[in-house]
Structures are given as C-alpha cells and as structure tokens.
Amino acid sequence: MKKPSVQRQLEDFEVLCREAGLPVTVQRQVVYEDLIRRCDHPTADQVFETVSRQMPQISRTTVYRVLETLVELGVVRRICHPGTAVRFDGRHEPHHHLVCRECQKVIDYERSALPAVPLPKGKPRGFVVEDYSIQLLGRCAECRKKR
C-alpha cells in the first residue's frame, strides 16, 4: 500500500469536492491538509489550534463543520475511541489500533501485522459490513512504568 503524496491527496480532494457539488474553500483545504499531515488522532479543537496558526481568522465552528463534511465525503474517519471527545483520522489505508486501558491513548498498528479477518456474509442484525478494524487492548509503556 503506497502512501500518496500530500500534494496528490489535495488534488484528489479538489476533484472529489467538485464531483460532490461542494465549493472548494480554503478552509476545507487547510483543515484537510492539516489532518493528512499529522500522524496522531486529533480532536476538533486540536485541529482548530494548529490550523488557526496559519489562518488566524478561521472560526472554531468552521473547523467542526469542515471535519463533519470530510467525514461525509469519506476522506476522513471519526475513530472509535474510549475518551470524551471525538477524534479524527486522515489516513486512507486501513489500520488497527492499540488502545491503552489506563490513559486511553490510541496508537496506529499496521494492518499487515495481523492475519486478515473474513467479513461476515449476509447482513448480521441488518448491518451491511464494509470494513473492519481491530482494537488491541492493553497497557502502554508509560502506564506500566507508573505501577
């Protein structure tokens, strides 16, 4: 799985917006670029904080709204997280997550490190299953040190 360049991803994003009939605003571009450049799983406020450094007049509301739009477009995911704020992930390639049971940190884990899971056939409980992600639950190094 080759990782596309940031430039390439931004171009694709522009095409996608046009296809969806959405104006390509600088706010949408800046927020999306921030998300694909960073490797953590930021909250909306964390994105707002970094983005407002290069674009001080951007509104917090806009960042929240743009993030929702990106999720609807399918270029960004809300990740499943045990904490108190929604977190976003701009990675395209599917991957798993290491979740610390104490501090609730979430770290990416290469998909290739685990055998593939066959998706269920049919529609369990009415769900059409399109993809999957494994959460590996445990303790991170820092939390283990504390004990």
> Where do contacts with its own copies occur on this chain (CB under 8 A)?
78-86, 97-101, 104, 107, 109, 113-115, 117-120, 123-142, 144
Q: N- to C-terminal Cα distance for the chain?
A: 39
Radius of gyration of the chain (CA): 17
Residues 10-39 that bind DNA (CB under 7 A): 17-18, 22-28
The nearer residue to DNA, 104 or 112, going by C-beta atoms, is 104
SS3 string, 17-80, reads: HHHHCCCCCHHHHHHHHHHHHCCCCCEHHHHHHHHHHHCCCCCHHHHHHHHHHHHHHCCCEEEC
Size of the site for DNA (CB under 7 A): 27
Other beta carbons less than 10 A from residue 28's beta carbon = 21
DSSP SS3 for 112: helix
The nearer residue to DNA, 8 or 18, going by C-beta atoms, is 18
Indicate which single residue of 15, 39, 80, 85 sits in contact with DNA (rule: CB under 7 A).
85
The nearer residue to DNA, 6 or 85, going by C-beta atoms, is 85
CB of 53 to its own copies, least distance (A): 25
Residue 114 makes CB contacts below 8 A (sequence gap 6+) with 96, 134
CB of 79 to its own copies, least distance (A): 7
Determine if 43 is a binding residue for DNA (CB under 7 A): yes
* Contact present, 52 and 58 (Cβ < 8 Å): yes
The nearer residue to its own copies, 2 or 123, going by C-beta atoms, is 123
Q: Which residues bind DNA (CB under 7 A)?
A: 17-18, 22-28, 43-45, 55, 57-62, 64-66, 68-69, 84-86
